[in-house]
Amino acid sequence: MKVIIQKSGYAKVEVDERIIGEINSGYVILLGITNGDTEKEIDYLIEKIANLRLFENEEKYFDKSIIDVNKEILLISQFTLYADCDKGRRPDFGNSAKSEYAKPLYENFIERLKAKNIKVSKGEFGAMMKVSLTNEGPITIILESNNQHNG
């Protein structure tokens, strides 16, 4: 499982020219799910996301988590995070989990964020979406759950 976290002052996601998800301030998270991902990967990433200190304290140091500052998350499913571009010019998406496997994990990921008392807006799984955001910093972090198994 892989996430790209962007700290955002405002973000929205549209499907068919209507806003289906929107936040005022917090994180835009792109979530990629690969073959073999399980609840274990969700556990690892939820803890990291909830406790990652990307918000400033009074001295302007990154010292506060999204929970500490009561911000929101806009979560977008993003199967292209597992694109393999090593051969040729067309990405191979064989490492991306199939929808029937990925969607329940995606929904569980949302519920687990909400269980941490984080307000979550979301895109539409499998839809063509337009995501707009104002990246603050800019701050962009990439986390991968398989890192927990390597060290």
3-state SS, one letter per residue, for 100-130? HHHHHHHHHHHHHHHHCCCEEEECCCCCCCE
pLDDT in tens, 80-126: 999 999 999 999 999 999 999 999 999 999 999 999 999 999 999 99
Fold of 2-149: D-tyrosyl-trna(Tyr) Deacylase; Chain: A; (3.50.80)
Give phi and psi for 67, each to the nearest 5: -70, -40
Predicted TM-score (pTM) of this structure: 0.93
All structural domains of the chain with their residue ranges: 2-149
pLDDT-derived band at 147 (thresholds 50, 70, 90) equals very low
Q: Which of 38, 80, 134, 140 is catalytic?
A: 80
In this prediction, residue 34 carries a pLDDT of: 96
Active site residue 80: yes
pLDDT in tens, 1-31: 999 999 999 999 999 999 999 999 999 999 9
